[in-house]
Amino acid sequence: MYSLLQTAAPAGPLPINDLLFVVVPYVVLAVFFSMTIWRYVKEKFSYSSYSSQFLENQHQFWGSVPWHYGILALVAGHLIGFLVPRGVLWWNSVPARLYIIEGAALIFGIITLIGLINLIVRRATNPRVRAVTSKMDVVVLVLLLLQVIGGLWVALTARWGSSWFAAVLAPYLWSLFTFQPDASAVAQLPWSIKLHILGAYAIFALFPFTRLVHVLVVPNHYLWRRFQVVMWNKRASKAE
């Protein structure tokens, strides 16, 4: 972590960092919660992934399954770093354990990327699936792709992310949630990491307006159920 902070580009003017890493996340949180609740109250039945499995199954399987298992593992990893940073630092204090956690994160990152690329190829190449793909679907897929590639880039270029996430980014995120925002450490980080954080904010801001809201509908049995044909009678233009 020390060397990372030392070799980082000099910090830009603080106001820009405050804008991007204090004001923006609060705006994002406000949009995320207000619009997610509003959509649930107004359009409860639109909380769906609008499955297109009935249009083409095989290709979707090789996209959807690795994507969902990969992203769930990554979300869990990010959450653990946020919730128990001291535990992560303790675990990483033994090099073999650090390699295990970093190796696992990298493998799940690659699985996620493979799944996402398959999902994108399927949407782009299958005319029937393309016909039910909205502009917002395209925006979400591109943002997710950039976010996953950016995460892998960070993991490969700024080693050992699980440790400095716990030491630098967890306190930053906690400072936001406890309404004592402090972006001074983030301001020192390289832009590759800053872009990864901003990418996450962009995804959270768009979340309530997209089919990503389906993650809030439990029980979410897509991960273990057998193949199933789901038909929607909503028009494609509304499927976002």
Does position 115 bind ligand HEM by CB under 6 A? no
Does position 210 bind ligand HEM by CB under 6 A? no
Cβ neighbour number for residue 92 with a 10 Å cutoff: 19
Does position 183 bind ligand HEM by CB under 6 A? no
Nearest one of 144, 102, 109, 148 to 123, comparing CA atoms = 144
CB of 214 to ligand HEM, least distance (A): 15
101-108's contacts with Cβ under 8 Å and 24+ in sequence apart are 101/77, 101/162, 102/155, 102/159, 102/160, 102/161, 102/162, 104/73, 104/77, 105/74, 105/77, 105/155, 105/161, 105/162, 106/152, 106/155, 106/156, 108/69, 108/70, 108/73, 108/74, 108/77
Which one of the spans 2-10, 20-28, 132-140, 145-153 is the region binding ligand HEM (CB under 6 A)?
145-153
CB of 13 to ligand HEM, least distance (A): 21
Which one of the spans 125-133, 134-142, 153-161, 224-232 is the region binding ligand HEM (CB under 6 A)?
153-161
Q: 53, 229 in Cβ contact below 8 A?
A: yes
Does position 92 bind ligand HEM by CB under 6 A? no
Does position 106 bind ligand HEM by CB under 6 A? yes
Which one of the spans 31-39, 132-140, 146-154, 232-240 is the region binding ligand HEM (CB under 6 A)?
146-154
Interface residues with ligand HEM (CB under 6 A)?
Answer: 74, 78, 102, 105-106, 109, 112, 147-148, 151-152, 154-155, 161-162, 165, 169, 173, 196-197, 200, 203
